[in-house]
Amino acid sequence: MSEVLDNLTEIGQALSDGSRVRALMSLRKQELCVCQLIDLLDLAPSTVSKHMAILKQAGLVETRKEGRWVYYRLSEPDENSAAAQALHWLQDTLIRSPQIRDDDRKLREILATDLEVICCRIRS
């Protein structure tokens, strides 16, 4: 297969899971620590890590490590790339979704909570 087709297929597979789509939508305004994503999605840490690895492999998210924290943010691909087009389509399509609105409300609460508190709560 061609590189473009391979990339498009990988993006399609990455977007085929609702939790991954919710994670992407939560990153549209700011980067988030993996602990914040775990809290938002209410999934096991290993599950969230696997989801984020799939999104990263597809070129939809990037990571940075700061001390013991791992942060995720949306990728900033070339505007004409399949990843950029997929991210625009996703945001345009889901911006008014009730699930995304609920996630936005929950995310505001999460962002107002000290990161250390969130991560300690998740570890226990």
Topology of domain 3-123 in CATH is Arc Repressor Mutant, subunit A (1.10.10)
Closest residue by Cα to residue 29 from 95, 78, 93, 86: 95
Instruction: Give 38's contacts (C-beta < 8 A, 6+ positions apart).
Output: 44, 45, 48, 122
pLDDT at position 120, please? 84
Q: pLDDT digit of tens for each residue in the chain (124 aa)?
A: 587 777 888 999 999 999 999 999 999 999 999 999 999 999 999 999 999 999 999 999 999 999 888 999 999 878 778 888 889 999 999 999 999 999 999 999 999 999 889 988 888 7
pLDDT at position 84, please? 87
pLDDT at position 81, please? 84
* Nearest-angstrom CA–CA distance, 122 and 70: 14
Query: What's the whole-model pTM score?
Result: 0.91
- Domain extent listing, the chain: 3-123
